[in-house]
Amino acid sequence: MRNYICKTCGTQYEASTAAPEKCLICEDERQYVNHNGQEWTNLKELSRDHKNCFEKIEDGLISIKTEPGFAIGQRAFLVQSNEGNILWDCITLLDEDTVNEIKKAGGIYAVAISHPHYYSAMTEWSTAFGNIPIYIHKDDKEWVMRKSDSIRFWEGESLSLNNDLTIIRCGGHFDGASVLHRQSGANGKGILLSGDTIQVVPDRKHVSFMYSYPNQIPLNEKKVRYIVNSIEPFEFERIYGAFQYREILSNAKSAVRKSAERYIKAIQ
């Protein structure tokens, strides 16, 4: 019995004696099946030639990224807090070195994930740190490929994890797609960890919004405005996206507003 992992999206499946016939995440029109066909791996195989790298981004914020790149290639964030650390978004690889590094940084008491493309090996992470809760929005429940009693399906438009951290449902990319607001980030000016619900683009001055990034399917005006309105009550100076160097380090809230208007003008 193995928990097979899709090589294209990094999602881990329920234990089985043989690999699944297909990856439901990749069969969806927001993702894709590799041109070589469906391929599978597992954590033992992945750890042979991959490792996780840690990088301090700002006080209380550390990125975790797998090298060489695997699957979608997103980074996770260790968000440190006096009230306990959380892991925002998730990556597939989890090994002994990673667990030890996180424990040295104070451990984690919860995992929170923006959307199904980053569910990856979330159950492995929860188990490794004592079956800690995994927070994902109920609207995306159907995309969970490995069930766990640790998963907490939250509902509504926002969820406060503590006095500093709030998950905000934005929708758009997925119905339950979310971002994480940290009030104390950027020296008290606030930060937003956006996954690719709000995608920081390479110029690092703008963001964009898509239903599917690899297949280039845009969102309509109504959904873009909903995303922007959902984060309007929250102040933030910086925004950190799911991928390395995709971040806006000043006036990020203004950049989101301006980018939305630019995007809407373009699709009209």
| pLDDT for residue 65 | 98
Q: Which amino acid is it at 192? A: L
Q: Please tell me the distance from the alpha carbon of residue 212 to that of residue 3, in angstroms, as a whole number.
A: 27
Q: Which residue positions in the chain have pLDDT lower than 50?
A: none
Is domain 2-267 classified as CATH 3.40.50.300?
no
> Do residues 12 and 4 touch, judged by C-beta distance below 8 A?
yes
| pLDDT for residue 29 | 97
Quickly list DSSP for 204-222: SS-EE-EEETTTTEEPPHH
Quickly list DSSP for 134-170: EEEEGGGGGG-SS--TTEEEE-SSEEESSSSEEEEE-
Tell me the two tokens of residue 97.
């070195």
First-to-last alpha carbon distance for the chain, in angstroms, is: 51
| pLDDT for residue 37 | 95
| pLDDT for residue 135 | 98
